Chains A and B, each alone.
Chain A
Amino acid sequence: MTEQALSTAVAAGQKTQSASSGLSGAWLPRLITGFVILLTWEIVVRVSAPAYVAKPTTVILAIPKVLTEPAFLQALGSTLVAVAEGLVMTIVVGTILGLLMGRSITFDRVFRVYINFFNAMPMIVVLPLFSLWFGYSSGARIATIIFAAIFAITMNVADGARSVPRDYLEVSRSFRSGRLRTLIDIVLPSSMPYLLAGFRLAAGRALIGAVVAEFFLSVGGIGYYILYNSRSYHHNEAFVGVLLLAAFGVGFELLVNWSTRHFMPWYRRDEKST
């Protein structure tokens, strides 16, 4: 009896030890890998590419210069405001549409075809059309961002609204709450994890939409900054822009993971990402 207890205690001790060493042990291989990647990049570019091609050492030197450059800050602000505006509109409209689709079978059957169609369409094919409709303007950029992002939100919210536990709805009905009440107080909170999963996808797509729109429409922003600088062979400066975009992409990912864990601890994230 005591022997058994002792052995479990030892096993538990070993387990925590190995777990903690596993965590701290992760940093070393990661650092080494990162270093190897950067070193390989540096060497390959130095040996075989022209001088203007970006390499780690020169990109690092360009970072302070770019981050204090007014033109860059303006471009960054312009893109971020557009993405934020687009995402807010996307979340409002996409959520309403998703809730309706999730809770009404008729609505779902009528709209599902179109949501699927536009969601499967590679979003950037709309650019020439949007440039005809909205001109070569920042309006076309917002439209592209919304088009790129909205269907991910709608589909996820619809999935969420469909999978509300039946018990909740029955309780709500037996307390005689109205349809709108049920939708806002029961269906919406219960679909939140899905909304967040949809938001993660939508944010990434919105970022891509913004950059592509700026390439295509020559609207000022971080995408255009990258395009302009790489055309004039300022690759190091342009690459700082790419690093920033990558940081936003990762930032959205981490933000959503964190808020799912923090605000919805009851929900275990399944591998649901379209």
Chain B
Amino acid sequence: MQSKALRRHAPFWFSIFAGIALWEVAGRNSSPAFMVPFSTTIARLWQLTVSGNFISQLVDSAKLFLAGFGLALIVGMPLGLLLARIRILRVGVEPYIMILYATPMVALIPFILSMMGFGFAPKLLVVFLFAVFPVLYNTVEGARSIKPELIEVAKSFRSSEWALWREVMLPYTLPYTMTGVRQAIGRALVGMIAAEFFLSATGFGQLIMSASQNFDTGGVFASMLVIGLLGVALTRLGLLIEQHFARWRQ
């Protein structure tokens, strides 16, 4: 049993160590303007953490992410469910949600900048715009998967509106909505960094930008490493949420 687990996990750890070793060797053999080894990155990460700089930027970024993502959920989920229930509204809005879902929202950042300037509100809007359409799009997709017969049967058994929601609408649409939530997590993270790069520089965006402007390659690698790990953690969370609700799906 134990050896089996070892055999399964050995390649994973081997791959991690090999990657770090490769990074270390490549970093030592190239100019520090291009790349720094793993050890220097970790040392720089430690410095940044101790100076408190890192933590305050992390908090800034987290605030932006949570506010934008939260707003997208607060707006997207009820609106999506409303669209799911009122067929005529869904049919009317559907193509526009699809278009906005496929539009690269980054292209709107220059407009937001020149109309709303710097500050928290324009950045919040960017994260919101990145995150809200996956939620809406997938919820509407879920609504389309409900067979009209199911609602008819429920109605002919005189089920109340509440029962209809609980027994038919939610079980059918929520798994799709949660796929949207998972996608929205990834997109909100991109939106967060984009807002921090191109609107007022704060948080992780600023950390990376100022590091690269000061040719502090160690700082660039340290921030990228942390953002990558954060991304992995959030993606995993999104997958867990999605899988939890996917059990409902037939």
Which residues from chain A contact B95 at a C-beta distance below 8 Å? 30
Which of B11-19, B43-51, B154-162 lies at the interface? B11-19
B110 and A238: CB pair below 8 A?
Answer: yes
Query: In the complex, what residue of chain A is closest to B103 when comparing beta carbons?
Result: A246
Which residues from chain B contact A49 at a C-beta distance below 8 Å? 115
Which of A129, A132, A223: most chain B Cβ within 10 A? A129
A235 and B106: CB pair below 8 A?
Answer: no
Interface size class of A (residues with CB under 8 A): 35 or more
A223 and B107: CB pair below 8 A?
Answer: yes
Which of B69-77, B118-126, B166-174, B228-236 lies at the interface? B228-236
B213 to chain A, nearest CB (A): 8
Within 8 A of A (CB), among B192-241: 192-194, 197-198, 204, 208-209, 211-212, 215, 217, 220-221, 223-224, 227-229, 231-232, 234-235
Q: Of B92, B111, B215, B221, which one neighbours A230 at CB under 8 angstroms?
A: B111
Which of A37, A109, A122, A249: most chain B Cβ within 10 A? A122
Q: Of B104, B109, B221, which one neighbours A245 at CB under 8 angstroms?
A: B104
A215 and B198: CB pair below 8 A?
Answer: yes
Within 8 A of A (CB), among B16-49: 16, 18-19, 33-34
- Complexed CA–CA distance, A51 and B73 (Å): 33
A114 and B19: CB pair below 8 A?
Answer: yes
Query: In the complex, what residue of chain A is closest to B175 when comparing beta carbons?
Result: A271
A133 and B99: CB pair below 8 A?
Answer: no
A36 to chain B, nearest CB (A): 9
Which of A1-9, A63-71, A174-182, A206-214 lies at the interface? A206-214
Given contacts A29-B88, A121-B227, A129-B212, contact A253 B102 (CB under 8 A): yes
A30 to chain B, nearest CB (A): 6
Query: What are the interface flags for A4-45 relative to B under an 8 Å C-beta threshold, 1 for contact and 0 otherwise?
Result: 000000000000000000000110011011100100000000
A29 and B91: CB pair below 8 A?
Answer: yes
Which residues from chain A contact B204 at a C-beta distance below 8 Å? 125
Query: In the complex, what residue of chain A is closest to B16 when comparing beta carbons?
Result: A113
Given contacts A30-B95, A125-B208, A212-B194, contact A230 B11 (CB under 8 A): no
Which residues from chain A contact B14 at a C-beta distance below 8 Å? 110
B interface, by DSSP: helix, strand, loop or mixed?
helix
B227 and A133: CB pair below 8 A?
Answer: no
- Complexed CA–CA distance, A249 and B189 (Å): 20
A37 and B96: CB pair below 8 A?
Answer: yes
Q: Of A32, A124, A207, A241, which one neighbours B197 at CB under 8 angstroms?
A: A124
Q: Of B91, B106, B141, B183, which one neighbours A212 at CB under 8 angstroms?
A: B106
- Complexed CA–CA distance, A127 and B106 (Å): 14
Which residues from chain A contact B15 at a C-beta distance below 8 Å? 109-111, 113-114
Within 8 A of B (CB), among A123-146: 123-129, 131-133
A114 to chain B, nearest CB (A): 7
Q: Of A26, A111, A238, A271, which one neighbours B111 at CB under 8 angstroms?
A: A238
Interface size class of B (residues with CB under 8 A): 35 or more
B11 and A239: CB pair below 8 A?
Answer: no
A125 and B114: CB pair below 8 A?
Answer: no
Given contacts A215-B106, A227-B110, contact A132 B115 (CB under 8 A): no
Query: In the complex, what residue of chain B is closest to A235 when comparing beta carbons?
Result: B111
Given contacts A49-B115, A132-B34, A132-B217, contact A123 B232 (CB under 8 A): no
- Complexed CA–CA distance, A113 and B17 (Å): 12
Query: What are the interface flags for A196-218 relative to B under an 8 Å C-beta threshold, 1 for contact and 0 otherwise?
Result: 00000000100110011001100
- Complexed CA–CA distance, A242 and B103 (Å): 8
- Complexed CA–CA distance, A274 and B187 (Å): 11
Asked if A116 lies at the interface with its beta carbon under 8 angstroms from chain B, I say yes
A231 and B103: CB pair below 8 A?
Answer: no
Query: What are the interface flags for A237-274 relative to B under an 8 Å C-beta threshold, 1 for contact and 0 otherwise?
Result: 01101100110011011000000000000000001011
A273 and B234: CB pair below 8 A?
Answer: no
A33 and B93: CB pair below 8 A?
Answer: yes
Q: Of B34, B94, B100, which one neighbours A133 at CB under 8 angstroms?
A: B34
Counting from the closest, the 4 A-B pairs by CB-CB distance are: A128-B212, A29-B92, A249-B102, A109-B11
Interface contacts beyond A121-B231, A215-B110, A253-B102: sample of 12 additional A-B pairs, CB < 8 Å, sorted by A: A54-B111, A114-B15, A116-B235, A122-B192, A127-B197, A132-B220, A211-B107, A215-B109, A242-B107, A249-B102, A271-B141, A273-B179
**Interface, chain A (partner B; CB < 8 A):** 25-26, 29-30, 32-34, 37, 49, 53-54, 106, 109-111, 113-114, 116-129, 131-133, 204, 207-208, 211-212, 215-216, 223, 226-227, 230-231, 233, 235, 238-239, 241-242, 245-246, 249-250, 252-253, 271, 273-274
